[in-house]
Amino acid sequence: MIPLIDISLILLIIFMVITPSLVQSQIKVNLPAADSGAKGTDNNVVKVQISARGEFAVDGRKTQYKELEMELTRKMSKSAEKTLLVEADKSVPVEKVVDVLDLAKRLGAGKTGIAVTDREKK
Residue 14 lies in a domain: no
pLDDT tens sequence for the chain (122 residues): 678 888 899 999 988 888 766 655 555 655 555 555 555 555 678 888 888 888 898 888 888 888 988 888 888 775 667 788 888 888 888 888 889 988 888 888 888 888 777 666 54
Instruction: Please state the pTM of the whole predicted model.
Output: 0.64
Residue 16 lies in a domain: no
Boundaries of domain holding 58: 25-121
Residue 80 lies in a domain: yes
Count of structural domains, the chain? 1
Q: Parallel, antiparallel, or unpaired: how do β-strands 45-50 and 117-118 relate?
A: unpaired
Which residues are registered as beta bridge partners of 56?
Answer: 50, 63
Short-list 20, 39, 46, CA closest to 111: 46
Residue 64 lies in a domain: yes
Residue 2 lies in a domain: no
Which residues are registered as beta bridge partners of 87?
Answer: 49
Short-list 26, 32, 97, CA closest to 59: 26
Residue 98 lies in a domain: yes
